[in-house]
Structure 1
């Protein structure tokens, strides 16, 4: 049993939880908690850590039956944990590797969320989770968007990280042009939208451009949209949170495609 926070494995977990660079170098990320552990495909698990008290509950102990795991003293596990109330289980998981083609290789029309400089981990995780619920085929992000393997993002996805393809790009403009060449119509959520969002047809290959929480889309990216759409507001509110706006657009698309 691991009884010291100075243990190399404990330090590795803490580094992966806190540092994007460590995650990139190792190709691993931390998935913590009962819900996330159940969602992770077992063939992607690199290693498992459980607290001493976790193993005292027989129903929980069954979760790691047949797996190799490390037992950690409760106080040390609390040190390792990225949450205020640890549930006593976490795994190091091998990262996913997708190409932009994977976002389009579905039998149904493409349905993409394209994110530029989204900074809030909660927003990113929510977009992924809501996106799975709405049926998106993938997420394309520029390289200034938050790290999808940040523990806060992982928790916010509630498992969608394991099922929704995603790609980071260091040349968003080039990839948007490629998508257009492949027949994807791009819509920018924008205050200058020509139509309210529900007036467009999203039953064909569709991508939505969602910009930074404070500044929106850059002019360069917005210029590549085929059309601007707006979400009409009542009261004195000018715009919505990025994840909320994305969800409105995604579920309108889901509604149209159901019909």
Structure 2
């Protein structure tokens, strides 16, 4: 059993929790907690850590039966953990690898979320989770968007990270132009929207553009949209949280497609 937080394996976990650069170089990410552990394909697990107290529960022992794991003291696990109330199980997982063609499905229209400079890990995770619920075929992010492997993003997805394909692009404009050539109609959530969001047709190949929490979409990106749409507001509210706005649009598309 590992009893020191100075242990090399423990320090590696801590670095993966804190540093996007380390995650990128290693090709691993940290998935902590019972729920996400149950969702992860077993062949993607690189290594597994459990706390001493975790193993006292028979159902926990059955959960990890047949898997190799490192047992650490409760004190060390608390030091490794990125949560306030650790559940005693943490996996290092191999990162997913998708290409643009993986964001399309055969026999049904494309349904994409396209994110520009989304910074809040909770927002990003919520969009991924809501996206699975609404039936998106994939998520495209520019390279200024938060790291999808941030532990807070992973937790916010509630397992959807394992099922929703995604790609990053360092040329968002070029990617959008390619999508338009392929017949994908792009809608930008924008305060200057001409139509209310429910007036458009999302049953065709569709991509929704969602911008930065504070500044919205850049002018360059907005200009590439086929239509600007707005979510009508009452009271003095001008705009919504990025994840809320994205969810409203996604579930309107899901409603139309039903």
| TM-score bin, normalised by smaller chain | over 0.9
1:257 shift after superposition: 0.3
- Give the 5 Å matches for 1:96-135: 96-135=96-135
Q: Deviations over 1:119-145 (max 9, x none)?
A: 000000000000000000000000000
Corresponding residue for residue 184 of structure 1: 184
1:106 shift after superposition: 3.7
Deviates more, 1:82-91 or 1:97-106: 97-106
Corresponding residue for residue 59 of structure 2: 59
Corresponding residue for residue 88 of structure 2: 88
* TM-score of the pair, normalised by structure 1: 0.99
Contact 1:44 1:94 (8 Å CA) reproduced: yes
Q: Residue 93 of structure 2: SS of its match in structure 1?
A: strand
Contact 1:17 1:82 (8 Å CA) reproduced: yes
Alpha-carbon distance in 1 for matches of 2:171, 2:104: 18
Q: Point out where structure 2 has 5 or more consecutive residues left out of the alignment.
A: none
Q: 1:50 to 1:152 in 2, by over 3 A?
A: same
Q: Deviations over 1:214-259 (max 9, x none)?
A: 000000000000000000000000010000000000000000000x
Corresponding residue for residue 2 of structure 1: 2
Corresponding residue for residue 242 of structure 2: 242
1:105 shift after superposition: 3.9
Contact 1:106 1:137 (8 Å CA) reproduced: no
Alpha-carbon distance in 2 for matches of 1:242, 1:234: 18
Contact 1:31 1:151 (8 Å CA) reproduced: yes
Alpha-carbon distance in 2 for matches of 1:116, 1:107: 28
Corresponding residue for residue 197 of structure 1: 197
Q: Deviations over 1:95-114 (max 9, x none)?
A: 00111111124431000000
* Count of residues in correspondence between the two structures: 258
1:57 shift after superposition: 0.3
Contact 1:3 1:72 (8 Å CA) reproduced: yes
Corresponding residue for residue 209 of structure 2: 209
Contact 1:82 1:151 (8 Å CA) reproduced: yes
Contact 1:124 1:153 (8 Å CA) reproduced: yes
Alpha-carbon distance in 2 for matches of 1:47, 1:211: 36
Corresponding residue for residue 68 of structure 1: 68
Alpha-carbon distance in 2 for matches of 1:45, 1:107: 32
1:169 shift after superposition: 0.3
* TM-score of the pair, normalised by structure 2: 0.99
Q: Residue 204 of structure 2: SS of its match in structure 1?
A: coil
Q: Point out where structure 1 has 5 or more consecutive residues left out of the alignment.
A: none
